[in-house]
Amino acid sequence: MTKNTNTTKHPTVSMIGFGEAGTAFAEGWADNSPIVAVYDKMLDATHSGSMMLDKIVQAKLQPVQSATEAASKSEAIFSFVTADQAMDAAHNVRDGLQPNAFYFDCNSCAPDTKRQNATIVEAAGGRYVDVAVMAPVHPALHQTKVHISGPHAKPAKRVMEALDMNVTILEGDVGTASATKMVRSIMMKGLEALMLECVLAGRKAGVDELVLESLEKTYPGFGWKERTHYNVERVMVPGKRRAAEMREVALTAEQLGLPNVMSSATVGWQDRVGNLDLDPNYKLDKDNYQARADIILKALEDAKET
C-alpha cells in the first residue's frame, strides 16, 4: 500500500479514541498528517494514563485533556472508541463542536445507537456521519474500506476522499451503514467463535488436524488451517473490544424482532477469551493455530482453579 503524497490542503482532524483502529488510521495519515488533537479516556486512568500519553506522543501527535477540547480544535472529528463507549463519546464532544463540524462515528454500534448519537451531535450543531469500517484496519490503515450513510454523506465523502480514504456511500439514513456492519458481523464474528470452539474441542480430543482436513475436503479452497490461525489470533488480541461490538450485534437482531441466540453466544466466547488477557505470541509460525489454541486451553483451565 502506498501512502498519500498529495499535498492538497486537507481538513483538520481530531481523534477520539486511540486504540487499534485509531492508531492504524493515524499511521496511514503520518505523512502530511491532518490530526491536530487526540483524546483517549485512558489518558485519565491512574495506571495506564502514562502509557497512553507515551503512545500518542511517540506517534508525533498532540494529546489533549478532554473530548470537548479535541472537538474544538478541528472541523472533522473521528470517533474510534469501543462500542460501549460510543454514546459517551458523542455526549462528550457536544460543547466543543465547531458549527457544521463533521462527526464521523466509526464505532461498531447498532443502528438505533447510531441514531441516538446522531441526535446528540446534530442538536449541538455538528454534522453526524454513520461510518462502518468494513475490514480489519491492517494492512490498509486509513485506506481500509468504509461505508457511510446519512443526510451529510455526500459532503462527508468529499472530506474523507481529501484524507485519502476508501469510502462508499450507502443510500439511506443514519443506521444503514451500521446495519450492514452489524448484520455482517453475525456471520464473521460468529464464524470466529464457532471455529474457536471447534479447534479447542479438537485439541482436547486430539483430532483437530483430522477435523480441519475433513472440512477442507467438504469446502475445498476455504483454507481452514489458515483461517483458523487468523481467527484464533483475532479473538485473543482484541477480545474485549470485539465482545462489546457483538453486544451491539445482538442488540441489532433483537431490535429487528429476531432471536439473537447465535450473536449472544459469540459475545460469550469473545468475552471469555478477551478477559484472559493473553499474549498471542507473534513469534510463533503464522500457521501455528495449535500453539495458540493450547495457550487458550491452559488459560481456561487455570481460570477454573482460581
Domain boundaries along the sequence of the chain: 13-174, 182-305
Instruction: Name the packing angle between helices 289-305 and 224-236 (round to 10°).
Output: 40
What is the band of 8 on the pLDDT scale with cuts at 50, 70, 90? very low
Query: CB neighbours (10 Å) of residue 220?
Result: 9
Q: What is the average per-residue pLDDT within 283-294?
A: 80
For residue range 65-98, list pLDDT tens digits in order.
999 999 999 999 999 999 999 999 999 999 999 9
Cα(250)–Cα(193) distance, rounded to whole angstroms? 14
pLDDT of residue 5: 44
> In the 8-state DSSP scheme, what is residue 84?
G
> In the 8-state DSSP scheme, what is residue 44?
G
Torsion of CA 138, 247, 78, 22, to 10 degrees: -30
Half-sphere exposure of 165 (CA within 13 A, CB side): 30
> In the 8-state DSSP scheme, what is residue 97?
P
Q: Looking at the domain that runs over 182-305, which CATH code has it been given?
A: 1.10.1040.10
Based on DSSP, count helices (H) and strands (E) in the chain, helices before strands.
12, 7
Cα(233)–Cα(109) distance, rounded to whole angstroms? 23
**pLDDT for 212 beyond 90:** yes
Instruction: Report the predicted TM-score, pTM, of the whole model to 2 decimal places.
Output: 0.89
- Is residue 242 classed exposed, middle or buried when 0-12, 13-18 and 19+ CB atoms within 10 A define those classes? buried
19, 119, 126, 171, 259 from 102: Cα distances, Å:
21, 14, 6, 18, 35
Q: Are 215 and 224 in contact (CB under 8 A)?
A: yes
Backbone angle region of 64, left / alpha / beta, with phi > 0 → left and psi within -120 to 50 → alpha: beta
Phi and psi angles of residue 13, each rounded to the nearest 5 degrees, phi first? -130, 135
For residue range 50-71, list pLDDT tens digits in order.
999 999 999 999 999 999 999 9
CATH class of 13-174: alpha beta
What is the band of 49 on the pLDDT scale with cuts at 50, 70, 90? confident
Q: What is the average per-residue pLDDT within 217-245?
A: 87
Show the cell assigned to 280.
498471542
Instruction: Name the packing angle between helices 176-205 and 208-218 (round to 10°).
Output: 130
